[in-house]
Amino acid sequence: MTSDQRPIGVFDSGIGGLSVLQALQTELPHERFVYLADNAHAPYGEKTDLYVRQRTHAITEHLLAQHQLKALVVACNTATAAAIHELRTRHPQLPLVGVEPALKPAVALSQTGHIGVMATRGTVASDKFARLLDSVRGQAQFTVQACNGLALAIEQSTLPGLAEAAEQRITELLKQYTAAMGAFGKGLGQMDTLVLGCTHYVFVEKPLKALLGSDVQLVSTGEAVARQTRRLLEAAGLLRSDPAPLSAIQRLSLFTTGDLHGLEAAAQRWLDLPQGACHKAPAHV
C-alpha cells in the first residue's frame, strides 16, 4: 500500500469549519490538514450566490496551487449549496466532500416527527436545500429558521475586544430564533430534534442545550463528513499509511484571510492548538 503524504484541504467562511476539522482529525488521525478560514469575507450566509461561488473558486485554486491537496472538504453549508456542483465539474479528479444540513439523520432520530432546522439565510434559500427538504417530504414535519447574524456573532466571540458583546449577542439570537420556531420537547407536536445547519452553530451547542432542555437532540454533520472523506480516500488509495505520529504543527496548518488573533483564539479554544499552527493567508487570496 502506498502512502500519500499530501494534505487534505478544508475551508469555511470562518471558524465554523473547525468543528468539521475536529471530526476529521478523529476519523483520520494519520492525515495532514490545511485549513483556510475566509474571515475577511465572512459570513457567507448573508452574501449573494455569485459572491460565494467566486470566493469558493478562488480559495480552491489557491489551496490546490500552494498545498498540492489530495482532497478538499468544503466545510461550509452555504458554499456547498452555492458551488459544490461547479467544483465537481472543474476538478473531476479531486475527491470533494461538502456539507449539508443533516435532515435524513434527524428523521431517523426524531420520536415526535417534528424537526427544527437552524441555518444561514444563504443555505435556506438555496436550490440545494430545497431539493434536500423535498427528499424527506412526508417523513417528518420541518420548521426551518434562517438565523441572520448568528454565524457572525460566533466569529466575533473569539476576537479581542468583541468577545463579551458577541457572547451576549449569541444568547439573544438563540433565544429569538428558537422562540420563533415554536415549542421544543417530547410532547405531541413539539420539536424533539434540532438540526444545526451551519458548521458555526456546533460551537453554541452548550447554550442551546441549556435553552432547549435535555429532551431535545442536536444533530450536526461533522462525523458524517469525516466518514465520507475516509471512504473517498480509501477508494482512491490516497490514505497516509505511515505509522509515525505527527506533531500538532506537522499535522495542522491553519490560515485566515482576516484577523489572525481571532483564528489563534479559536484554534486554542476548540482544538487546543498552539499559536504556531496559525498563519495569515497571502493578500491575493
Which residues are catalytically annotated? 76, 198
Question: Distance of CA 92 to CAs 85, 87, 152, 237, Å?
Answer: 10, 8, 33, 16
Cα 178 to Cα 241: distance, rounded to the nearest angstrom: 45
Cα 68 to Cα 109: distance, rounded to the nearest angstrom: 39
Establish how many alpha carbons lie within 13 A of residue 84's alpha carbon, considering only the half-sphere containing its beta carbon. Answer: 23
Cα 117 to Cα 198: distance, rounded to the nearest angstrom: 10
In what helix (H) or strand (E) does residue 223 lie, and over which residues does it extend?
helix 222-236
Cα 132 to Cα 136: distance, rounded to the nearest angstrom: 7
Residue 185: burial class (beta carbons within 10 Å; 0-12, 13-18, 19+): middle
Do 271 and 22 contact (CB within 8 A), yes or no? yes
Q: Per the structure block, which three cell numbers stand in for 196?
A: 444545526
Cα 100 to Cα 221: distance, rounded to the nearest angstrom: 7
